Every structure is written in C-alpha cells, then in structure tokens.
A and B are shown apart, each in its own frame.
Chain A
C-alpha cells in the first residue's frame, strides 16, 4: 500500500462516523424534524461505547450499548421535548449538544488514559480487496465501515421503494396530509428519533473504538455539524450520503496527511478544510439547487411542528 492509498484509506475510515451520524440525521429530517445536536449524541455514544468496551473487553458489546444508550439519550432529551412538549427544535438541539458534551466529558474522566483491550482489525473483502488501488482503499477496512455503507443502502431502499418509506417521506413533506391518510405521524417520528439517535451513537462509537482508539472529551471536534451539513450536501438522498461522506472524510484527513508529508501549507489551515466546506455547503447548497431546479430538496415540512387537528 503506497502513501496515497494509505491516505485515501484513512479518508474512507474517517468517513464512517460521519456516515452513521448523517444517516441518523437523515432519518430525523425525512420525517420533518431537524436535529442540530448530533454532536451531543455522538459524544454520548462515543464515551459509553468506549467505557463498556474497556470494562468488558468486548468491542461489539461496546457498540451495542452505545447504540442503545444514544437512542435513549436522544429520545429523552430530543424527542420528548420536541414531539410531546412541542418545544423548539432549534433550542432542544442546542440542549442536546450541551448536555451530551458535558455529560460525556464527566462520564469519561477516568477513561481518558485507558487503552482499548483489543482493536478491530481490517476485514478484507474477498476478490474486491485484490482490485488494484481501489482494493486497498475501500475493501480492506474494519467491518463498521462496511456496515455503515450497507445500512445507508438499506435506508435508501426503504425510503424509495417501500410503502413504509412513502409514509416516512409523507410525514416530512406534509404531516397533516399524512395524518389524514391514516399514518401515525407521531409514533413514526418517535420511532425514527430513536433509530436516528442510535445511529449517531454508533457513529460516535466508531470514532472512539475504531478510528482513534482513544477517548478524550470533545473528541468529535465538530463532526456532528459536519454530518448535519452532509445531509444537506447529499440533497436529502441516502445514497448521496455515501460518496458525500467520503469527500468530507478526505477533507478531514488533509491536516494529518499534510503534516506527515511535510506539505508547505500549515496543517492548521488544512485542518480547517472540512469546517470551511461545511460552512460553504450550508451557505450555497440550497441556493444552487434553487437556481438549478427552482425548488429546494429539503422535506417541505422540515422543522415545522405538527399538532393534530391544525394545519
């Protein structure tokens, strides 16, 4: 594996936490809710997964508990205020972020210097891993990378090709009409906040258990916001998340790679790349789409509160 291949393989690995988190966010937004507190849920998943993996010496158990804990956290701190108490999705998102950041730092205090008892090795995909160039980049990765891509494809399929996916999209487009069609709007919103939270938590756990193999407070370093932008970048299409996450992953590794190769651009500048790109996406993506097709790709009722009997 040459240096370019190694850098690109690292980019793909770094994409996995983003992909999980963005997939979780997509499940929120397709059902009309936006959750800008991804960062907090990722941190909770990251720290709890790490703690469980260290204490039980079982990484898989770490992932499982991280998923459940993050789902519970997201349901309690996000879904309950938003769906039951009708609180502002913006304010609750910030609460989610702050609580997740503070709580995870506190929980993980004693785990900062404790190493993982084992690490996940790479799994080579038969045949495909022998492809020149691509094999080394895409098909010799730890299994959570493959699972992220597979889950994204499953979500894409469900959204696009099943009647349930049609119902999900209808909730995000027009909850009142969905309700009038007999779709239990709030029940599905609650369900997918749980699933979405679990995915964000798995994203955080992938970061701590696979990508870095360590826990420090605020380890996500803004990846939750990058994932938020990724959903917009992908035009709310699940399949678009996959290559979008690779692109953001590439930007994420620019800093370390540049440093390792002694590029003349300061690595602190390179390190800003994903965040600058995030800002650019948030600023221009919708504008570009409006100019191109005359409408936005966002679910029409995104962020609107649905109260039964009102329109």
Chain B
C-alpha cells in the first residue's frame, strides 16, 4: 500500500453525491495555550455521505467538530457550508446553517418530557404550545425514523440509547442537514447500536449527511462511506471504506513510529499479589462499567492496562484500590479477601494508589510533610494515643522526599505549591512506602515534562524491582511498551487480551483497543 500519510489535502478521493461539498473546512488551527489541538486540518464532507472521523483520544476529532458547530472558535482556517463561506460563532449559527451535533453528554433537561426536550428553544416568544400538540409532532418524527421513544416520558426515566435518540430527534427537528454524532456508540449496548445504525441509514436515505466520530474500527467500516483518520491534531488520511481494513486503519490511527521494545527479564517471578475475579460494576449498559474482569498482578511485574479512555480502566483502578465497591466479584490482596472493603482497608493491606487526579492524592492546602504522612497517621510512630507526634512526622517526610529525589524541598511548604512532577513523585513515594505490596498508578505521567516523566518511570521500575506488583493504567502506548512486563487491553469493560512483553505489537494493541483483533 502506498503511504497514505502523504495524501495531499485536496485529493480526498471519491466525493459522493452533489457537486458542492456539504461542509468544507480548510486549514483549521486550534491551540489551547501551548498545545496545538488542531494543526491546519482540512476536512471535506460530501453531500449525503456517512463520514467517519477516526482517531485516538486527543487526536482532535471532537475539537474539529466543535469548531464546525460553533462551540469553540478556531484560531485560523475557513469553513464553507454548501459551497458558501460561513462564519460559525455559536451553536445557533450552526443550527441556522443546518448543522447539528449530538454530544456525548446529550444535553437534555432531565425533568422535561421527551416532547418538551425535542422542541426546546424553538419558535418565537409568543408561540403557544400544548402538551398534546408537542407530543403528537414528536410522535411523527419518532415514527418516521424509528426512534422508538414515548414522547410523554420524562427524560430522567429513559435508557441511554433512548436519550441518544431524543438528542438526535432534537437536532433533526431543528432542521439539521448535517448531523455530527460524537462517539455515539460508546455508551450503547450492541442492540441499541444496531438500532442507531438503521436510524443513520434512514437519515442518509433522506439525503442528510452524517459525521460519525469514533475510535472503533469495526463499526466505522460498517457504517461509513468514507473515513478520515486524525492523529495528534492532524488529518492523516481520508479513504473510501472499500480501501480500508481494520488493520490498515489501526496502523493509521496509532502511527508508524515504533519504538523498539527492549527485552527485559523478570527480576522476580512473583506470586500474585493483587488478584481480582469476576468483577462487575454498575449497570451493564453504562459506559465503562466492568463486565466480568479477571486480573492478577504478580509481585515484581508491571502490568500495563491499555485502552481508549472510558472502556473500564478507571473503574478497574478504583475497584482495585477500594474506591469503588464492585457489584460482583472478589478482590484479594495477598491472601486477604477485600471484596467490599473501603479504600482504608486496601491501604492497610498494602495497596498504594496513585490516582488519576492529583487533587485526590494530595491535600493541596496542607503542608508537604502532612501530605507525606497522610497514609500512616494512624500508625506509630506518627500517632501516639490520640495525638500526632510532630517530631516523628518530619523525619518520615524528609526520608520520603529524599527517596523521591526531592530532598531540596522545604517540608513546611503548602503542597499546592509543588509542580506537577514533584507532586506526582511525592504521591508515588508515599504510596510505595505505605503500600509495599501493590501499586495502582493511573496516568502517573500525564501532563508531566520529559524529566519528570523519567523520574516517575524510575520510581515505578524501582517498585517493581523491590518486588511490588504494579498496575499501570495509561493511554500512552510508548510508556506502556517501555515499562510493562505484560499489557492487558481493555475494551468495553472487558479485558480483550493480555500480551506478554515478547509479544508486544503496536498494531495488535491498536486493533484490540478498537475492538478488533483477537
């Protein structure tokens, strides 16, 4: 296959339908501070097609469509709708131009009925509305596309699939010719997803155009006419679906630059330290809910967890640290059963937790030393009777900082004054010290610069070589490949596969993350 990376922007193959593109975006640039979310992206939408936008988290899919629907303003670039230059400054402008978007959060008023939500914000100030009339009109739309919702039902009582169909109906009632669906199947059960697909086909049959944002390879090939792949804020390729396979798309989505995976012998062949079996959380159709997950972290290994966010990694980490009580399943630390116990019991059993959000890991208003002893305040020497022993706190804190390479820090400073990297290292050291058996780290290097990332990685490897079992949740494949002994790939609340280090393969992981492979 020729290198699809270098498709010139204008040469997008086979526009379908009418002569003018339904939507044409040229040279769109969007920066958030120093971060370039969209880098001169060209995007062309042909009349009457289903066009998939495929990419990993942070590739810029949603940002691009937020620009098209006026939710955010681009820093540069032009937009034309139906061949005519358009300024889209607000969702209202987009609506007027016939562009509607269905967000991942549906933006519906919970206490209103379906009919009220569908008609919300329509019409002039003086228009009379009777409940029955609204419901009758809603029922007509519902029937026309097979939406299958009761117009008089209160939105708070609907299932996720129904909510989504209400949101789509709302966009259609507003005259949307171009409908943008942001990760529409991420929240759906397979049945609801196939219902959605038939609705999409119905809309296209009426001549409407659909943008389908997704990271799932199979369904993109199933529903789309053309597929544009974004990576790192740039459009990599636009291909008709006939030219795509899940493998080729995975390669485009994840990128070519392969870092060599160094073989690495295990230092300890440890016992399972943190073992979970048959984990389930929440309602089965909720996004990210765990569905029957078995996992075992061995002593002396780093078990990486890969996956597109929202596929259950956060829930898994929460269950394994006692933050979330599973609906079913068992969790064992060493030989202790800790199924329904809380975070405190997990901490006592020797499980450390580096949470996704540092504000959970640190009390920013407290001093560094108080944060350092937070996990051991109930144990001597820090506690004596009901009292805290100040003279014991400081040496403990100093030692911790030294191990983290932070010896220069003044321990009486507020934790809120730490840089992200310093804060992360402090948390890791504290959790390692208090939780000597297992460490659950969620995105520990996210947002850190190269040096701080390096320090975090060293701390994790250090824990591993001391015989602790480390579960590392990350969206950064390079990081996972570099650090992990094994990688478990999660997809839709399940572990799709677990790969040994010798079998690490970027393409394979990309496929598994998108629900393919196996």
Chain A residues close to B by CB (< 8 Å)? 161-164, 166-167, 169-170, 173-174, 176-183, 300, 309, 311
The winner among A164, A176, A309 for most chain B CB atoms within 10 A is A164
B398 at the interface (CB under 8 A from A): no
B13 at the interface (CB under 8 A from A): no
Q: Mark B99-129, 1 if CB is under 8 A from A, else 0.
A: 0000101011111100010011111111111
15 pairs across A/B with beta carbons < 8 Å?
A162-B125, A162-B126, A163-B123, A163-B124, A163-B129, A170-B121, A173-B111, A174-B109, A178-B109, A178-B120, A178-B121, A180-B91, A181-B121, A183-B120, A309-B72
Q: Inside 8 A of A174's CB, which chain B residues have their CB? A: 107-110
Q: Are A180 and B107 in contact (CB under 8 A)?
A: yes
Given the interface pairs A162-B126, A162-B129, the reply to whether A167 lies near B111 with Cβ below 8 Å is: no
B164 at the interface (CB under 8 A from A): no
B336 at the interface (CB under 8 A from A): no
Q: Inside 8 A of B130's CB, which chain A residues have their CB? A: 161
Q: Mark B157-170, 1 if CB is under 8 A from A, else 0.
A: 00000000000001
Q: Inside 8 A of B128's CB, which chain A residues have their CB? A: 161-163
Q: Are A166 and B125 in contact (CB under 8 A)?
A: no
Q: Are A163 and B122 in contact (CB under 8 A)?
A: yes
B95 at the interface (CB under 8 A from A): yes
Q: Which residue of B lies closest to A177 (CB)?
A: B107
B144 at the interface (CB under 8 A from A): no
Q: Inside 8 A of B174's CB, which chain A residues have their CB? A: 182
Q: Are B107 and A164 in contact (CB under 8 A)?
A: no
A-B CB proximity, top 7 nearest:
A181-B121, A180-B107, A163-B127, A177-B107, A174-B109, A163-B123, A164-B125
Q: Are A167 and B120 in contact (CB under 8 A)?
A: yes
B31 at the interface (CB under 8 A from A): no
Given the interface pairs A162-B128, A180-B91, A182-B92, the reply to whether A167 lies near B105 with Cβ below 8 Å is: no
Q: Are B129 and A173 in contact (CB under 8 A)?
A: no
Instruction: Give the distance to chain B from A150, nearest Cβ to Cβ, in Å.
Output: 18
Instruction: Give the distance to chain A from B163, nearest Cβ to Cβ, in Å.
Output: 12
Q: Are B116 and A166 in contact (CB under 8 A)?
A: yes
Number of A-B contacts (CB under 8 A): 68
Instruction: Give the distance to chain B from A311, nearest Cβ to Cβ, in Å.
Output: 7
Complexed CA–CA distance, A181 and B120 (Å)? 6
Q: Are B121 and A182 in contact (CB under 8 A)?
A: yes
Complexed CA–CA distance, A173 and B176 (Å)? 25
Q: Inside 8 A of A179's CB, which chain B residues have their CB? A: 91
For A164, give its contact among B71, B103, B116, B126 (CB under 8 Å): B126
Q: Inside 8 A of B110's CB, which chain A residues have their CB? A: 173-174, 300
Complexed CA–CA distance, A311 and B104 (Å)? 13
Q: Which of B240-292 contact A (CB under 8 A)?
A: none
Instruction: Give the distance to chain A from B324, nearest Cβ to Cβ, in Å.
Output: 22
Q: Which residue of A lies closest to B120 (CB)?
A: A181
Chain B residues close to A by CB (< 8 Å)? 71-72, 91-92, 95, 103, 105, 107-112, 116, 119-130, 170, 174
Q: Inside 8 A of B123's CB, which chain A residues have their CB? A: 163
Given the interface pairs A178-B109, A178-B120, A181-B120, the reply to whether A162 lies near B91 with Cβ below 8 Å is: no
For A177, give its contact among B71, B109, B129 (CB under 8 Å): B109
Q: Are A177 and B108 in contact (CB under 8 A)?
A: yes
Given the interface pairs A177-B108, A178-B109, A300-B111, the reply to whether A166 lies near B95 with Cβ below 8 Å is: no
Complexed CA–CA distance, A173 and B110 (Å)? 8
The winner among A173, A176, A179, A181 for most chain B CB atoms within 10 A is A181
Q: Which residue of B lies closest to A179 (CB)?
A: B91
Q: Which residue of A lies closest to B71 (CB)?
A: A309
Q: Inside 8 A of A170's CB, which chain B residues have their CB? A: 109, 112, 120-121
For A182, give its contact among B71, B91, B116, B126 (CB under 8 Å): B91
Q: Are B127 and A167 in contact (CB under 8 A)?
A: no
Instruction: Give the distance to chain A from B446, nearest Cβ to Cβ, in Å.
Output: 21
Given the interface pairs A161-B129, A173-B112, the reply to whether A166 lies near B91 with Cβ below 8 Å is: no
For B170, give its contact among A162, A166, A181 (CB under 8 Å): A181
For A183, give its contact among B111, B121, B127, B129 (CB under 8 Å): B121
Instruction: Give the distance to chain A from B439, nearest Cβ to Cβ, in Å.
Output: 33
Complexed CA–CA distance, A47 and B366 (Å)? 51
Instruction: Give the distance to chain B from A64, nearest Cβ to Cβ, in Å.
Output: 24
Q: Are A311 and B109 in contact (CB under 8 A)?
A: no
Complexed CA–CA distance, A181 and B108 (Å)? 9
Complexed CA–CA distance, A170 and B155 (Å)? 13
Complexed CA–CA distance, A183 and B125 (Å)? 11
Complexed CA–CA distance, A170 and B91 (Å)? 17
Q: Are A311 and B92 in contact (CB under 8 A)?
A: no
Instruction: Give the distance to chain A from B137, nearest Cβ to Cβ, in Å.
Output: 12
Q: Which residue of A lies closest to B90 (CB)?
A: A182
Q: Inside 8 A of A181's CB, which chain B residues have their CB? A: 107, 120-121, 170
Q: Are B119 and A166 in contact (CB under 8 A)?
A: yes
Q: Which residue of B lies closest to A300 (CB)?
A: B111
Complexed CA–CA distance, A279 and B320 (Å)? 47
Instruction: Give the distance to chain B from A229, nearest Cβ to Cβ, in Å.
Output: 23
Complexed CA–CA distance, A170 and B92 (Å)? 17
Q: Inside 8 A of B92's CB, which chain A residues have their CB? A: 182
For B109, give its contact among A162, A164, A173, A309 (CB under 8 Å): A173
Q: Inside 8 A of A167's CB, which chain B residues have their CB? A: 120-121
Complexed CA–CA distance, A40 and B116 (Å)? 36
Complexed CA–CA distance, A173 and B107 (Å)? 11
Complexed CA–CA distance, A108 and B372 (Å)? 62
Instruction: Give the distance to chain B from A165, nearest Cβ to Cβ, in Å.
Output: 8
Q: Inside 8 A of A178's CB, which chain B residues have their CB? A: 109, 120-121
Instruction: Give the distance to chain A from B214, nearest Cβ to Cβ, in Å.
Output: 21
Q: Are B120 and A166 in contact (CB under 8 A)?
A: yes
Q: Are A164 and B121 in contact (CB under 8 A)?
A: no
Instruction: Give the distance to chain B from A261, nearest Cβ to Cβ, in Å.
Output: 47
The winner among B95, B109, B111, B124 for most chain A CB atoms within 10 A is B109
Complexed CA–CA distance, A211 and B120 (Å)? 42
Complexed CA–CA distance, A166 and B110 (Å)? 13
Q: Are B107 and A176 in contact (CB under 8 A)?
A: yes
Q: Are B112 and A311 in contact (CB under 8 A)?
A: no
Q: Inside 8 A of A173's CB, which chain B residues have their CB? A: 109-112
Complexed CA–CA distance, A152 and B295 (Å)? 63
Complexed CA–CA distance, A161 and B131 (Å)? 8
Q: Which residue of A lies closest to B94 (CB)?
A: A182
